[in-house]
């Protein structure tokens, strides 16, 4: 199946991964290669936004993302890449979004292991802050930090240290960029906020939705953590999301968490019940959120506000630098599924 000039995907490779998001992820990678092959002067551009994540082999919020590039000269390339028909399935077309570079030493392309030119991570974060929905940007920045900080819940202390080092570095690069640019940079404050609150411990988009919602509805002062460790009955366990000071654990459940068979589902469900009993014995209050609940953002916010208020947690109406009502495109099936 032809994706672009000199770039093809074997149909057999796609049929081995029947899940729509896996097929779209392969097509997204191929589209970057096609764009790279078509660019007459590769050194004049670099991938950014979710394209930079795809180039690194990461999974962004959208499994069928637009192609986002920073350019140093007008490319003259088309502004869209067409849909890819795959039998009864079609991967929808995407836009090619180009933005001008800052033309300074902080905006030099960095080659990925696959040889694709990426923008520096700080500028990828800035472009996500500028162009993506805040929820989408929160998830993507968290995934980027997970990758660059080599986050592992089995090495939490070291992972959190590396995460803070990465966050400090991104802060320094963005402040240096603003100093060199000698002006106001659009999206600067939101980018800093995203770096501050992003959580490399997130395991799923559903967890990202809940974390993002908490940052929008909690009064300032509360600590929010993903992958909070605790020990019970001689075993180390983890909480998806925790508010340590009021000892509230939020568990986010989806079909994938319960395995691919009924036997696995029963086993994992039983383990989850034991974990919740252990948390209860340690004095934690538990709030459960399903993936279906998470996708209904308005309903999720109402649910979290009500449940948190029961436990004395101070909340407010959704607001702040990260708040924006969800759009139809944010959860569109031709993007997410």
pLDDT digits 0-9 by tens, 260-310: 444 454 566 666 677 777 777 777 889 999 988 998 999 999 999 999 999
Chain center to CA of 64: 14
Q: What is the pLDDT of residue 180?
A: 84
CB contact at 8 A, 67 and 81: yes
16 CB contacts (<8 Å, ≥6 apart)? none
Chain center to CA of 45: 23
pTM of the model: 0.89
- Distance from C-alpha of 53 to C-alpha of 313, rounded to nearest angstrom: 36
Strand partners, 225: 242
Angstrom CA distances, 129 to 26, 48, 185, 188, 227, stand at 25, 12, 11, 8, 25
- Distance from C-alpha of 14 to C-alpha of 268, rounded to nearest angstrom: 30
Residue closest to 121 by CA, chosen among 68, 80, 178, 166 = 166
CB contact at 8 A, 311 and 285: yes
Residue closest to 210 by CA, chosen among 153, 239, 246, 252 = 252
Low-confidence ranges of the chain (pLDDT < 50): 255-263, 265
- HSE-CB at 159 with a 13 A cutoff on CA atoms is 18
CB contact at 8 A, 62 and 335: yes
Q: What is the pLDDT of residue 21?
A: 75
- Distance from C-alpha of 5 to C-alpha of 64, rounded to nearest angstrom: 20
Q: What is the pLDDT of residue 218?
A: 96
Q: According to the 3-state scheme, what is the secondary structure of the chain? A: CEEECCEECCHHHHHCCCCHHHHHHHHHHHHHHHHHHHCCCHHHEEECHHHHHHHCCCCCCCCCCCEEEEECCCCCCCCEECCEEECCEEECCEEEEEEECCCCCCCCCEECCCCCEECCHHHHHHHHHHHCCHHHHHHHHHHHHHHHCCCCHHHHHHHHHHHHHHHHHHHHHHHHHHHHHCCCCCCHHHHHHHHHHCCCCCCCHHHHHHHHHHHHHECCCCCCEEEEEEEECCEEEEEEEEECCCCEEEEEECHHHHCCCHHHHHHHHHHHHHHHHHHHHCCCEEEEEEHHHHHCHHHHHHHHHHHHHHCCCCECCCCCCCCCCCCCHHHCHHHHC
Place of tokens 């070291």: 158
Q: What is the pLDDT of residue 245?
A: 87
Q: What is the pLDDT of residue 36?
A: 86
- Distance from C-alpha of 47 to C-alpha of 40, rounded to nearest angstrom: 15
Residue closest to 123 by CA, chosen among 139, 105, 136 = 105
């Amino acid at each position: 199946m032809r994706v672009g000039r000199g770039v093809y995907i074997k149909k057999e490779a796609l049929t081995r991964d029947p899940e729509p998001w896996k097929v779209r992820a392969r097509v997204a990678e191929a589209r970057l290669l096609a764009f790279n092959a078509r660019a007459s002067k590769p050194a004049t551009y670099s991938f950014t936004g979710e394209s930079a994540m795809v180039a690194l082999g990461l999974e962004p919020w959208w499994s069928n993302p637009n192609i986002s590039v920073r350019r140093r000269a007008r490319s003259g390339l088309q502004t869209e890449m067409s849909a890819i028909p795959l039998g009864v399935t079609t991967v929808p077309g995407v836009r090619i979004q180009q933005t001008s570079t800052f033309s300074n030493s902080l905006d030099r392309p960095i080659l990925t292991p696959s040889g694709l030119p990426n923008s520096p991570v700080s500028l990828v974060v800035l472009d996500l802050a500028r162009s993506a929905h805040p929820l989408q940007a929160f998830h993507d920045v968290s995934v980027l930090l997970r990758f660059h900080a080599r986050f592992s819940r089995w090495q939490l202390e070291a992972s959190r240290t590396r995460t803070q080092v990465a966050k400090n570095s991104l802060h320094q690069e963005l402040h240096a960029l603003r100093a060199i640019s000698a002006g106001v940079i659009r999206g600067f404050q939101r980018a800093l906020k995203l770096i501050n609150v992003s959580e490399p411990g997130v395991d799923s988009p559903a967890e990202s939705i809940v974390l993002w919602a908490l940052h929008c509805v909690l009064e300032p002062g509360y600590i929010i953590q993903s992958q909070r460790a605790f020990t019970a009955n001689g075993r180390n366990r983890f909480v998806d999301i925790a508010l340590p000071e009021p000892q509230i654990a939020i568990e986010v459940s989806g079909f994938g968490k319960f395995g691919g068979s009924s036997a696995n589902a029963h086993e994992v469900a039983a383990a989850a019940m034991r974990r919740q009993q252990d948390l209860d014995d340690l004095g934690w209050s538990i709030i459960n959120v399903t993936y279906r609940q998470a996708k209904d953002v308005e309903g999720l916010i109402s649910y979290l506000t009500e449940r948190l208020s029961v436990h004395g947690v101070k909340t407010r109406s959704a607001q702040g630098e990260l708040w924006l009502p969800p759009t139809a495109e944010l959860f569109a099936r031709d993007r997410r599924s």
